[in-house]
Amino acid sequence: MLADADTTQPPQRIRTPATWAVPAAVLVVLVLWASAFIAIRSAAHSFSPGPIALIRLVVGTVLLGGVALRRRVPLPRGRPLVLLIVYGLAWFGGYNLALNAAERHLDAGTSAMLVNVAPVLIALAAGVLLGEGFPRRLLIGMAVAFGGVVVISVGDGGSRGDATGVALALAAAVLYSVGVLSQKVALRSVPALQATWLGCLAATIATAPFAPQAVQQIAHARPGDVLLTIYLGVFPTALGFVLWSYALHRTRAGALGSTTLAVPAIAVLMSWAILGELPTVPAAVGGAICLIGVTIAGRRPRGAGRARPRWRDWGPRAWRGSGRRARSPSCR
């Protein structure tokens, strides 16, 4: 009787919080990442793209480093370390700089919609580099998403001189894609939290030349804009990525990735409510077309998920770094 009680108790403690914790974490992440577009747009009144990125990265590195160091996981070496540096420079560094610059030309909602073509680019690169092929749905989705970009570029960028903003937002999407692909390979041997921290650290070092400019702009910045840059480091960067890792380790990566399609819609609503900005008609139409294309490209055929049970085992291995024995979905 006592042995039976000991063997049945742990699964109950593992499954109960998962029914609400994972959806709650995903919802918070989506709101935080959407709010980043609003904060960047607002902070641009006092800060140029480089200082915004640097301040955000310094705050995020300090917070993530404090958590990662407490776990005392050995630092990676060799190829995994190189991949993490590429991941950090592309995603945290280049992506932030390009997005910050893009939002000087575009509203927050339009920027979010353009950046969200990244999943299509990731699928395209995976077909070339990882041998995943080019399903028909991917090609159709790419064509539809490209049509949406053309609508935004011609209808909005051409009339208001915002073609530069469109190009910068698309560059941010490309850098985001490079970062995700590098991270995906690195996570095979490096815990997710540690990978995020090291990527953020690499980008902080790369953007260090903006430090004198950041100090000068802080001295003349509005207090609210300074708080917004700190907010970007604490919430969308540090807390957002920790919660994202938490959710990723407890659900399928494909299903979780599709939830980011809600970020542009949330960003548009927040931009309207907080900044009083709405995308122009061409931007709204083109953005909707982009999201439709991304949805088509990311849709998997029926039964495709059955052949990939290994996604479930990412979580504990990524958090604990304990190797093959960590197969339980529980995590402290």
Q: What per-residue confidence (pLDDT) applies to 297?
A: 66
Q: What per-residue confidence (pLDDT) applies to 263?
A: 83
> What are the b/e assignments for 192-207, b being 16+ CB within 10 Å?
bbbbbbbbbbbbbebb
Given a cut of 50, the residues of the chain with pLDDT beneath it are 1-7, 9-17, 158-161, 305-332
Q: Which of 25, 29, 42 is nearest to 236 (CA)?
A: 29
Q: What per-residue confidence (pLDDT) applies to 321?
A: 40
Q: What per-residue confidence (pLDDT) applies to 171?
A: 94
Q: What per-residue confidence (pLDDT) applies to 130?
A: 62
Provide the percentage of residues in the chain whose pLDDT is more than 90: 31
Amino acid at 205: I
Q: Which of 110, 86, 268, 93 is nearest to 190 (CA)?
A: 86
Q: What per-residue confidence (pLDDT) applies to 202?
A: 95
**Segments making up each domain of the chain, as ranges:** 32-300
Instruction: Name the pTM for this structure.
Output: 0.76
DSSP track, 312-323: GGHHHHHHH--G
Residue 332 Cα distances to 13, 71, 99, 148, 315, angstroms: 12, 11, 34, 43, 11
- CA 322 and chain centroid, separation: 26
Q: What per-residue confidence (pLDDT) applies to 63?
A: 92
